[in-house]
Structure 1
Amino acid sequence: MVTDIPDPAVLPVGPEAAAILRLCRGNALSVAEIAAELDLPLGVVRVLLGDLLDAEQIRVSRPVPPALLPHEHILQEVIHGLRAL
């Protein structure tokens, strides 16, 4: 996940990297979400994110480990409860 994005207006980056920074401002997004939103190949986005990370313009965090996520049966109960409303 990409988080803590600085203001892209003050960064010396190309248009694609600036678009990534604008998109991620205030949002934690996955690499796949960024690629889909900007209609860029996943590999290109990975390279751009690597460059931004090397320049300390972004911070990358790991997703929540599956062991810390709620169990599927709990999510099913929530869905059933919402449908019942």
Structure 2
Amino acid sequence: MTAGRARPPDSAGRIGLMAIVQPTGERPPGFLPPEQRDLLRLCGDAPQPVADLASDSGLPVGVVRVLLGELVTHGLVRITPPEAESPSHRPDARLLRDVINGLRAL
């Protein structure tokens, strides 16, 4: 299934549990292992989190990450971090200070 690989290829980057997977619409090469074909089918037309793909496929998350990394390498899917992980959606430093001060006041 993963041919002994324990991690996705470095070219795929970090694949977080809540990262969003979306098919690129490219045609698969001549041969894809059945598990990769199943993941592509599960992606459908709508973006899916990695956790949902693992749950729906019945495969362990680590295996799904390796298989998705291969699909990224083939240009068949695009993986983006969830909004909460992207730098533009980080909480404001002032807000964090206010929360810390509020917790200290308890």
TM-score, normalisation: structure 2: 0.55
Aligned-pair RMSD on alpha carbons?
Answer: 2.1
C-alpha contact 1:17 1:52 (8 A) present in aligned 2: yes
Question: What corresponds to 2:57 in structure 1?
Answer: 38
Unmatched tracts of structure 2, length 5 or more? 1-19, 91-106
**Percent identity, aligned pairs only?**
34
Q: Write out aligned runs for 1:1-85 (5 A).
A: 1-6=20-25, 10-11=28-29, 12-65=31-84, 67=89
Shift of residue 7 of structure 1?
6.8
State the structure with bigger RCO (CA 8 A, min sep 6), 1 or 2.
2
Deviant stretches of 4+, over 2 Å = 4-8, 65-68
Greater CA radius of gyration, 1 or 2?
2
More helix by share: 1
Shift of residue 25 of structure 1?
1.6
Distance 1:37 1:7, change over 3 A: farther
More strand by share: 2
Distance 1:61 1:28, change over 3 A: same
Shift of residue 30 of structure 1?
1.1
Aligned residues: 67
TM-score, normalisation: structure 1: 0.67
